[in-house]
A and B are shown apart, each in its own frame.
Chain A
Amino acid sequence: MHLPILSILIFFPLLGIGLLLFLDRKNHKVLKGAALGVALVEFIFSLPLWFNFDSGTAAMQFVERHEWIPTYGISYYIGVDGFSLLLIMLTTFLTPLCVLATWTDIQTRVKEFMICLLALMSGMIGVFVSLDLFLFYVFWEVMLIPMYLLIGVWGNPARRVYAAIKFFLFTMFGSVLMLVAILVLYFHYGQTTGVYTFDLQKMYGLNIPFHMQYWMFLAFGLAFAIKVPMFPFHTWLPDAHTEAPTVGSVILAAVLLKMGTYGFLRFNMPLFPQAAHYFVPLFSILALIGIVYGALVSMMQKDLKRLIAFSSVSHLGFVMLGLFTFTVAGIQGGIIQMINHGLSTGALFLVVGMIYERRHTRMIAEFGGLATAMPIFATIFMIVTLSSIAVPGTNGFVGEFLILLGAFKSNMLYGTIAATGVIFSACYMLWMFQRVVWGEITNEKNRDLKDLSLREIAIFAPLILFIFWIGVYPGTFLNKTKATTDNFVAMMEKAKATQVTQSQVFKGEAQ
């Protein structure tokens, strides 16, 4: 008996939307409860994915395939491997927590909010499981709309529209170029093999002339680099994060950014392996700039959310650096770091959201001495901060360590520069933490702040569990990605060599 688990995961939230449409818009508790129920059931549905996943093979699992537009070679083709499994689990794991986090935060237009959240969930899972380029593109674009609405409708009144449009246009800019590249790839595949298809797996083995790989890599790369976001395409991120409602920031940081890094792993590198090798210096250097620049800019932020947003640029730089080492350690580290960033940055945004709810400000200068007023909050905040800094014993350490291992193996210099990023991250996080939590209470308004409620603790408990689990015993998670990564590294290894010059590329001579 094979249940189509992935299809259920994609379409169940849509069913949930159908349910929400019939509920009374005035009764917020019921709406939130229903959304929570849907998200929890979705999480339960995703559990078999985890337990039945065969970590011994690099092949796609839970595959479903149906013809969609047969004359065009488009099919509804979905599956999971080690790269996507963890990200899907992260998505289904975080969404119920996000719904819980809206309990007191979102008070207006709750129904629409929940509808957007569930639509977003469906779109995110769709992106991670698509194995057909057309299908992937559809999910990739569809998912923009609910996120755009989340930022634009429930965001910070002052600049939410600006941030929402900026988010939309930036992402769209990259993806329309990717669409052209997809089409070029499609017709190239059709002309060389005689079969017209958008099937990703079939395209993996295709021999593409280097000058085509070059441009297509850049077109795909731009779409994903904007999403990651890599320096210098990161400028939408601080705005989107700062203006979005708490839950929007959490989803944005935890899952949406990962679509960029995931896109590199799933599409850019395996489709255009020679070009990927060719571009290692460029992308590694951009990643390094991101690491250092993100950290330095974070340090000077006055707004907590902006600080965390820039720290994302830094952390995602680590992930990109790891992926572009093409070593097992680097890539496994990169994947685990994607999850870590999702957990710890998601948690940080929740933390900020909770004090924002109490104080209606996010300025660091407004706080100080919160440890006295809110001891539980301070403890949780500290754990999350340490995880973000990558202290040994927490999840961040495992990811960054593996990435640095891979980086040193492939290029000493890259590794050295990246290692400074670790130090910088300690600087800005600890300094922020010190100013917000330690010391005397400098602002009287902070004296009577209520500590976390049970609900809020319940949101953090699972996050903290996984922060330590990955930190202490990462094997559980690394095992799942091992086979896929080995296969991927071997594939990339084969494509090495070929020295080409720019002029060959522009003349279209490079093979």
Chain B
Amino acid sequence: MTLNIPTFHLNSIGPALILTVTAVVILLLDALSPKGRRKAFFPQLSLLGLAAAAFQTYLMWGTKGTDFARMIYVDNYTFFFYFIFILGTALTVMISSKYLDDYGKNLGEYYALLLFATVGMMLMAASAHLIMLFLGLEVMSIAVYVLAGLFREDPRSNEASLKYLILGSFSSGFLLFGMAMLYGAAGGTLYLDELPKALAGHSAFAQPLTLLAIALLIVGFGFKVASAPFHMWTPDVYEGAPTCVTAFMAVGVKAAAFAAFARVFFLAFPAFRVDYTMLLWVLAVATMTIGNVTAIAQTNIKRMLAYSSIAHAGYLLVALVSANQLGAVSLLYYLLAYTLMNLGAFGVVILVGRKRDSYLSIYDYSGLGFQHPALAASMALFMFALAGMPPTAGFVGKFYIFSAAVQGGYIWLAILGVMNSLISVYYYLRITVLMYMKPAEAELGPVSFSPAVTAVLAATAAGVLLIGIFPGSLYDLAVNAVKIFPGL
């Protein structure tokens, strides 16, 4: 028996490889360096690795093809998501170190896990085969399970980790089960580009089997993007996990899941568009509504942002439902915008929380507006952006998403969507109300501005405004990236 090893180019997974190497180096340094002298340079090292990965992605921009025996795609869609992941991770690294220091948890393995999770995300976005997708998903998920439980001594962190692990395993099971069904229905292939043809003309048995598979895949992805009714884990996990990990989950994991979600559904099931859009329509409306309505009742800022992230998953599902080019473009644009505004908001949460998350109630924001004008102004900006007010990126993103829905003929979906963003205005506004219109409840003491977090706030605030006022070139980039979906 001869083993045939196909040719491949390591270059094609360059960014993922760079991050893996960086992570391994961090782990080794952590293990080998003498006690007491370590950890200081891990964030810098991670940022360096991320910058190198970004540069590598930039160099590859424009290439198109597959590699590793057609297991992964090398195309602009992948690269666009690489940039989103790298940006999200880099910002997370920057808001982490001071925060973790306070807990005495500024450890090498944190950064290594963060980078490993990013590698998993990249593989998810790049995967051209469902098994590849599953591998990427697991690489990402397992790292995030551990990250959620980073504060071992804290019961809430333990709860978050355990809950995420158990429910996450279930969802992975659903996903795998769906893939198995699909494997049968397609007559033995799981390549995304082969699936449409394979599913088209087979036995009468194939049709219901495929529908079942689609439903199971939706469950699996729905869990990862925190869509209703698979969102139950979100608030507890988001609240219990360290704030920086929450931020990472809210932007990175969601973006990765959506990258794969969109790729699989747009590429593999063109013949079943009517069926899955119907299902996603319901999920989108349920997700937006549950997320927004429940967020109103929250008094913990992290829980509020958790429900807000559920609601945002709903908006993004609207883009999937539209299933047109604009929908795909809006997905990319919105995920980037969401990364900026959400990480900015979590940066503020970390700063206002001060030492060891002492102040996480929304009432701790009372009077912030006139004690720390810049901090409050940036929080207000992020809140208005999340609510979708112009001239921020949040508005343009929602504008694109609802345009896509209208273009796809889903006017009612668009109406329900805008009504939902109206509901969301209420709880985002409440933060500004507290900051500017209520007196401080107690003297909360000074906020210690660490340079890295301040830089993140400045950069995200500027970014939210910049791509909100001049979205044109980013839009063109996204259009370029979604050209890979021939049917749209």
Contacts and interface: CB of A to CB of B under 8 A. Distances in A.
Nearest to A144: B389
Contacts of A145: 384, 389
A408 interface: no
Contacts of A160: 437
A180 B384 contact: no
Interface centre among A71, A141, A164, A183 (most CB of B within 10 A): A183
A168 B390 contact: no
Interface in B73-111: none
B475 A165 contact: no
Nearest to B398: A179
B475 A152 contact: no
B418 interface: yes
A179 B390 contact: no
B476 A180 contact: no
A141 B422 CA distance: 12
A30 interface: no
A153 B437 contact: yes
B436 A153 contact: yes
A164 B437 contact: yes
A142 interface: yes
B339 to A, nearest CB: 21
A22 to B, nearest CB: 14
Contacts of A184: 406, 411
Given A179-B399, A183-B406, A161 B414 contact: no
B426 A176 contact: no
A70 interface: yes
B411 A180 contact: yes
Interface string B384-418: 10000111000100010011001100010011001
Interface residues of A, number: 33
Interface in A124-155: 134, 137-138, 141-142, 144-145, 148-149, 152-153
A177 B406 CA distance: 12
A164 B479 contact: no
Nearest to B373: A112
Given A70-B472, A142-B390, A186-B403, A165 B429 contact: yes
Nearest to A143: B390
Given A153-B436, A153-B437, A69 B426 contact: no
A50 interface: no
Nearest to A140: B390
B447 interface: no
Given A177-B418, A179-B418, A68 B472 contact: yes
A461 interface: no
A51 interface: no
A179 B426 CA distance: 19
A23 interface: no
A153 B411 CA distance: 37
A180 B402 contact: yes
Interface string A168-201: 1100110011011001101100000000000000
A177 B415 contact: yes
Contact of B475 (A69, A142, A177): A69
B375 to A, nearest CB: 15
A318 B53 CA distance: 65
B440 interface: no
A71 B418 contact: no
B433 interface: yes
B406 A180 contact: yes
A71 B479 contact: yes
B378 to A, nearest CB: 15
A109 interface: yes
Nearest to B476: A71
Contacts of B476: 71
Interface string A411-439: 00000000000000000000000000000
Contacts of A164: 433, 437
A214 to B, nearest CB: 14
Interface string B359-373: 000000000001000
Contact of B370 (A68, A109, A148, A176): A109
A179 B403 CA distance: 9
B390 A169 contact: no
Given A71-B475, A161-B433, A141 B389 contact: yes
A165 B431 CA distance: 12
Interface in A485-502: none
A171 to B, nearest CB: 10
Contacts of B422: 169, 172-173, 176
A183 B402 contact: yes
B145 to A, nearest CB: 39
Contact of A152 (B395, B414, B426, B433): B433
A264 B426 CA distance: 27
B176 interface: no
B471 interface: yes
Nearest to B437: A152
Contacts of B384: 145
B471 A69 contact: yes
Given A160-B437, A161-B433, A187 B406 contact: yes
A10 to B, nearest CB: 12
A319 B326 CA distance: 41
Contact of A180 (B414, B425, B437, B475): B414
Given A138-B391, A180-B415, A168 B407 contact: no
B22 interface: no
Contact of A165 (B402, B414, B426): B426
B406 to A, nearest CB: 4
A187 B402 CA distance: 12
Contacts of B414: 180, 183
A144 B395 CA distance: 14
Given A109-B370, A141-B390, A183-B406, A165 B433 contact: yes
Contacts of B437: 152-153, 160-161, 164
B280 to A, nearest CB: 19
Contacts of A177: 415, 418
B411 A71 contact: no
A177 B472 CA distance: 24
A149 B475 contact: no
Given A168-B425, A180-B406, A180-B414, A141 B433 contact: no
B419 interface: yes
B472 A71 contact: yes
A176 B415 CA distance: 8
Contacts of A141: 389-390, 395
Contacts of B411: 180, 184
A152 B390 contact: no
B403 A183 contact: yes
Interface centre among A148, A172, A176 (most CB of B within 10 A): A176
Contacts of B425: 168-169, 172
Contacts of B433: 152, 161, 164-165
Contacts of B419: 176
Contacts of B172: none
Contacts of B342: none
Nearest to A176: B418
A142 B421 CA distance: 16
A85 B436 CA distance: 35
A187 B472 contact: no
16 contacts: A69-B472, A72-B475, A109-B370, A142-B389, A149-B436, A152-B437, A153-B437, A164-B437, A169-B426, A172-B425, A176-B422, A177-B415, A179-B399, A179-B402, A180-B415, A186-B403
Nearest 10 Cβ contacts at the A-B interface? A176-B418, A183-B406, A138-B390, A69-B472, A152-B437, A180-B414, A141-B390, A183-B403, A161-B437, A153-B436
Interface of B: 370, 384, 389-391, 395, 399, 402-403, 406-407, 411, 414-415, 418-419, 421-422, 425-426, 429, 433, 436-438, 471-472, 475-476, 479
Interface of A: 68-72, 109, 134, 137-138, 141-142, 144-145, 148-149, 152-153, 160-161, 164-165, 168-169, 172-173, 176-177, 179-180, 183-184, 186-187
Given A141-B390, A177-B418, A183-B402, 4 more contacts: A109-B370, A134-B399, A176-B421, A180-B411
